[in-house]
A and B are shown apart, each in its own frame.
Chain A
């Protein structure tokens, strides 16, 4: 990965777009990642979200299917 990769734009979706996306798709068709802390996840999370705290992301990349779109929050 080159230094320019750090400046790549990451497409974002609004909460409403995500809601529509999740309603239309089957959970099999996307990765939905909650990157907050476990206690935050415990308090509330989007149904079906996989908890991968930011600090663990680098070591747990294998849990994210690169073939599918990924939504993180």
Chain B
């Protein structure tokens, strides 16, 4: 690429190559990966819900973050459909909940950021800064899902990560256009 990264005006991810992979490394199979990815999506959904409430007085911002909440719900639904399509069965959520509840269970969102900390951070910040945080979080999730689809050996898990990365890409484009509208 001409000019290297300095010429790049698009989105960038950060962190070392193994960033975020630790969340998924104990997940040896597709079912466990679905459980973990679901937890992270759940965390993101809770974050966006919190942000929507925070900007309650700003109609446009509230609607924007509520749209993100519904987009996360859509991600969760697709995740389940992908898993069921691959394995023929729904994941065993009881088993997954007991396995991962300590580490995740909606307390951490995509990009590995704790939801509480993120909601604390947006206090006193504007809509654009909150959107930028959302974009940073989604970019890192996108980056992670692509890397995971290349490194994980389980074929079904590979498919799930590919699906997730494709969805993040669409999600990011929407977020970027929302940010463009606000700045």
Interface residues of A (CB under 8 A from B): 12-16, 18-19, 22-23, 26-28, 34, 36, 38, 40-51, 71-73
A-side interface mostly: mixed
How many angstroms from the CA of A14 to the CA of B9 in the assembled complex? 11
B14 touches which one: A14, A15, A44 (CB < 8 A)?
A44
**Minimal beta-carbon separation of B39 from chain A (angstroms):** 22
Count A-B contacts at CB 8 Å.
82
CA distance A15 to B48 in the complex (A): 32
**Are B8 and A46 neighbours in the complex by a CB distance under 8 Å?**
yes
Q: Hey, which chain B residues are within 8 Å of A45, CB to CB?
A: 5, 12-14, 143
Flag if A48 contacts B5 (CB, 8 Å).
no
Instruction: Say yes or no: is B4 at the interface (Cβ < 8 Å to chain A).
Output: yes
Known: A12-B2, A27-B149, A28-B162. A19 touches B15 (CB 8 A): no
